Structure formats: C-alpha cells, structure tokens
Amino acid sequence: MLLDGKRILLIIGGGIAAYKALDLIRRLREAGARVRPVLTAGGAEFITPLSAAALAEDHCYTDLFSLKDEAEMGHIRLSREADLVLVAPATADLMAKMAHGHANDLASTVLLATDKPVLVAPSMNSFMWQHPATRRNLATLERDGIGMVAPGVGDLACGETGAGRLAEVADIVAAVARRLGTAAPGLAPAAGASGPLAGRRVLVTAGPTHEPIDPVRYLANRSSGKQGFALAGALARVGAEVVLVAGPCALATPAGVTRVDVETAREMLSACRDALPVDAAICVAAVADWRVAETGAQKLKKDATGGAPPALALTENPDILATLAQLETGRPALVVGFAAETDRVLDHARAKRARKRCDWIVANDVSAATGIMGGDDTAVTVITDAGEDALPAGSKVAVAEALAARIAAALTPTPETTA
C-alpha cells in the first residue's frame, strides 16, 4: 500500500473543515498509515476526541497539561514518534503560531518540538487567506522547509466564494505520499500526483550564476533565488513534475521538486538541455550576461607598485531563455521568461519578449528602492500575446501561486480544444 507502516501525526485545527479530518483519518489508514490524532481546542468545537480516536484506533491527544497523557506519551515523544506531522485543517491562527514559534498548547508545542517533515493543508476564509499577514507567515513556513497542500477555490462555508477551502482529502493523501517519498529512504515518490498539472513536466531555473574570474573571485548578481524556488514549489503543489535548475543559493528545496545545482551560465544551459523534454520552461534565474574570457589559474594579485588593476576581457554567455524559446524540435509548449529591470520596465520587458521569442515575460522593477531583489515581496506584470496584466503585489510565495495557476490554465486543455 501507498503508506504502508508509515506513522502520521495528524493535528486537527479549528474551523468547519475539521469534519473532513475524520475522512482523512480513514483514507490515510486505508493507504496503510498509522494515524495518531492531536485535536486543538478549536477543532474540538467541530468534532469530538472520541470520533477521531475511534477512526484512528489510537488515543486522541488534546491537552498539553494532561497528567495522564504526559505520563504515558509526553509531547516531545509524541512529536518524534512519527514519520510526518500533518496539519489539516491548518487555520490562519495555527499557521501564525508555527511561523513565529509559539508553543502555548499541545499542537503548537508538538510542532515546535518535532524533527520530522511537516505538511500543512490550510483552510480559511478567502480574505484571511489573502491577508498580508497570512502571506508573510506562509512565506516563513516555506522558507523553513514546511510543505503545503494548496487550498482549493470554490464556495466557502461562510457563504463567500474564493480560495481557502481545504484541499480534497485524496489530494492531501497524495501529498503525504509525495512528501514521504522525498524524505524517507527507500520509498519511491507516489505515482499519479493529483492537481491540474498532474502528468506535466516543468523546468524552472532560479537564482544567480557565478562566473569565475580566478579561483577566489567571480562575477554575479544580487538574485536570491526566492522567486524561482517559490514558483517551483507552487507548480509541484498543483501536480507538476518539477525540475529546478538552481544557481548558487542557500534555500531549501521545495517539497516534491527535483533540484539540480549549477554554478555558471554554461552549466545551467547544459542542465536545462538535460531536463528536456518538458511541457513548460520557466526561466526565473538571473543569468550573468557575461563571463571572463580567460579565467585566471591563480588568484590575481594587486600590483605592489600601485599600478593599474588587471583588465578583464569579457565574453557573452549563452542565452538560456532564447535557446529554449527558439528550439526547432522539442520546444516546450510554454516558455516564460522574467525581466528584472530598473528603468522603463515594461518597455524593456516587451522588447525582451520579442527578442527572445518566448511566450510570456514576467516583468518587475528591481531598482534599489523597491527592495525586490533579494527581498520577500514583489510586484510583477505578465506580458503575453493577450495583453498585459499586473498581478497584485505581495509575497513571492503568493505571486508564485498566482503564476502557477496561470501556467496550469495555459497547459490544461479546455473542452473546446479537446472536442
């Protein structure tokens, strides 16, 4: 079975979606997992400890200060005796506690004490989901290596419509299998990942490149890789098989993503060619335009007499975006480039799209005053044949989700195209 023998610690947050946790327990057990539930005070307003315990065939833990539970199964042991900690539903409050390291109840204490992979399935009102505070907390959790099963879009219990409803139980089970397949030795990734991009393969480039001058120095730029990593993670969450070709950057690999580390532009191009064929190529990396024509075999030294510094002869690097966009055979169905500009942003982005012959350009202003280069927030405009669309400014994680949804829509056939 998919999760045979795997131990899942299920933390059930408050909110009407807590009732789905009962079905989730049943489905996880059908997949072979052992489930141990932890019910928050909010969750207990919607379901009972008895119902969770009965379906799990295990004790349901609720109280950090229970003398009986702490004596039999202390919260530290509870946090460690699992292969994965799953939070479903994850409320805005519970995610805020996780992001800020609070530990004032059993659930938050277990989450702070665990050394196991953590996966969250958010559920909340759409305005709460889009609130800047929630987006900041989500970005923090993703940087901390916590995986997410993205919420769905539709009618919400509050009567509104939008993003924020708990992902389908089957999707959560599949995400658990993928997360364990990545983290647990000997367990293959789950086949048939669900989501609109299931069965699609996507290449993402991210980060800077380092072009050596000598064994010590290099040419580079200020790219942190955050946007590319966030986009790779968002695409994986909607079902894509993602290959992330990353320049030098100290970021955790998103859950469910295959990462290939490179240093130079030429290495990045080679890795991109190796990743083909793909359905889409998303070139987020800030590739150095030039490299030193002749790399010094030894460290270049200053002239002791105070003479002129050595002259560096530069040569142009390969153009990865243009190469992928202009492939005569095996061109991805969708090629997306990014244009990081400091002046006349849209003019330069339009010209870049025409010159590279890519399908979309995602333009942003990275001048020093914006704080976007290396920061956590961004604002982008998507330029396509259909026109130009400025996305709402927000965290790079939020923008990545919006872009992933657009990419999924572009790659998913409509009934008209399949008729």
Give the up-direction half-sphere exposure of residue 250: CA atoms within 13 A in the CB hemisphere.
0
Contact 257, 242 (CB under 8 A): yes
CA atoms of 195 and 51, how far apart (whole Å): 30
Tokens read off for 193: 């990942």
Buried b or exposed e, range 178-197, using 16+ CB within 10 angstroms: bbbbbeeeebeebeebbbeb
Active-site residue (options: 158, 249, 272, 283): 158
302 is in an annotated binding site: no
First to last CA, the chain: 37
352 is in an annotated binding site: yes
338 is in an annotated binding site: yes
Name the β-bridge partners of 173. Answer: none
Residue among 345, 234, 344, 248 nearest 282 (CA)? 234
Residue 158 annotated among the catalytic residues of the structure:
yes
Give the up-direction half-sphere exposure of residue 165: CA atoms within 13 A in the CB hemisphere.
15
CA distances from 371 to 96, 141, 222, 374, 395 (A): 24, 21, 11, 7, 12
Q: ∠ at Cα 5 (2, 10), nearest 5°?
A: 85
CA atoms of 351 and 246, how far apart (whole Å): 26
Q: β-strand 387-390 against 380-384: which pairing, if any?
A: antiparallel
CA atoms of 14 and 329, how far apart (whole Å): 52
356 is in an annotated binding site: yes
CA atoms of 213 and 228, how far apart (whole Å): 26
Q: ∠ at Cα 229 (226, 232), nearest 5°?
A: 150
Q: Under 8 Å CB-to-CB from 298, ≥6 apart: which residues?
A: 214, 215
321 is in an annotated binding site: yes
Which residue type sits at 356?
A: K
CA atoms of 62 and 75, how far apart (whole Å): 11
Name the β-bridge partners of 61. Answer: 38
CA atoms of 339 and 381, how far apart (whole Å): 10
CA atoms of 39 and 14, how far apart (whole Å): 9
CA atoms of 55 and 65, how far apart (whole Å): 24
What residues form the annotated binding site?
A: 289, 299, 318-321, 338, 352, 356
Tell me the catalytic residues: 158
What residues form the annotated binding site for CTP?
A: 289, 299, 318-321, 338, 352, 356
